[in-house]
Amino acid sequence: MMNQHKPRLLTGDTPTGRLHLGHWVGSLENRVHMQNDYDCYFIIANVHAFTTRVEKPAEIHQSTMDIAIDYLAAGIDPNRSAIFLQSEIGAIAEMTFFFSMLIPFPRLMRNPTIKDEIRDKGLGDNYSMGFLLYPIGQVADILVFRPDIVPVGEDQVPHIEMTREVARRFNQVYCQVDPHTEDADYIAKGGVFPIVHTKLGRSKRLVGLGGPDASGNLLKMSKSLNNAIFLSDDADTIKKKVMSMYTDPKRLKPTDKGTIENNPLWIFHDTFNPDKAWVKEAKERYRNGTIGDVECKKSLIDALVAFIDPIRRRRLELEKDLHYVQTVLREGTARANEVANTTLLLAKEAMRQRYF
């Protein structure tokens, strides 16, 4: 059960819906495969879900359970890895406050993911104070586990960069680590927090099913943007979604020459169709106008159903046993709290705020 000799891995998801194909290629696939070699902690960031869903607590509760079920169905093994709830880790909330003082406010507002989210989620200038606090909350989510590696999608890279900045600053200010220290040496030089590495998935930013935004960029697949294929979708739903997905808008009939680049149809084939030879040949025919969209879409539907259906079936079984899912969360949270509380003591000691 305990994997303390292994390097530690931390990552997770915000419960704002169920998990989709973007999560799989961006991060989940890596997590499933890394469980053997790493001591893994997977956070369900239910507090962060309130940044955009303050009036929907029941929905957040449901999504939290859904994500736990998605993890288990996708192959996260609770005997090796801890799945836990952010709201139950008091050390995260405490460290968020201390860390927020180590990041200048203008630096936070330069974070490109924050700007993208304000735009893509239509938050205008009505976002809450807590929304701006969430990247710092994420710094705390990560650092209280003092992990060696953090597998995430590309949109999280700016948050990880902030995590590295906060860790360096904390170690310099409170542990007297020399600012010229190499990132890899911070712990050896007396720092509390490691300067973490990311690991990007095989597809850093999977696009969604919808078309481009006003400036012509394809949006990423996202639970909040209604453009996702979920790991829980059944064959009919997958079929409907694929049949109506965005492809090449200039191609009106099968004999028109089609464009492969930036075409979600082919991005999905490249990412999920194991029959590489078919994909190669079909792309050529698409370019030359000798294959119909329907044939290309049917083959994609088959590939996606073959991948998703076993996960969906395991989900159905788990949904019947919520008591088991709850036990997994309780035990994972207890394990996570052991690590987080140890870090909190070390941090308070470094900050001369341990009085007893």
Q: Which residues bind ligand ATP (CB under 6 A)?
A: 13-14, 16, 22-23, 25-27, 152-153, 155-156, 203, 205-206, 220-224
Minimum distance, C-beta of residue 237 to ligand ATP, in the bound complex (Å): 17
Closest to ligand ATP by CB, 44 vs 177, is: 44
Taking the least distance from each CB to ligand ATP, the nearer of 155 and 233 is 155
* Residue 83: strand pairing partners: 42
Please report which residue ranges of 144-263 form alpha helices under DSSP H. 157-175, 235-243
> Residue 314 corresponds to which tokens in the numbers above?
């395991």
Smallest gap from Cβ 235 to ligand ATP, in A, equals 22
What single-letter DSSP state applies at residue 20? B
Which of 64, 337 has the CB closer to ligand ATP? 64
CB of 140 to ligand ATP, least distance (A): 16
Least spacing, CB of residue 47 vs ligand ATP, in Å:
13
Residue showing tokens 């209280």: 144
User: Angle between the 264-272 and 276-288 helix axes, to the nearest 10 degrees?
Assistant: 160
**Nearest to residue 330, comparing CAs of 83, 92, 141, 144?**
83
d(Cα 9, Cα 36) in Å, to the nearest integer? 11
Beta bridge partners of 44: 13, 85
Q: How many CB atoms lie within 10 A of CB 316?
A: 12
Q: How far is the CB of 50 from ligand ATP (least distance, A)?
A: 12
- At 44 the three-state DSSP class reads strand
Q: Which residue is nearest to ligand ATP (CB)?
A: 26
Enclosing H/E stretch for 97: helix 90-100
Tell me the closest approach of the beta carbon of residue 143 to ligand ATP, in angstroms: 16
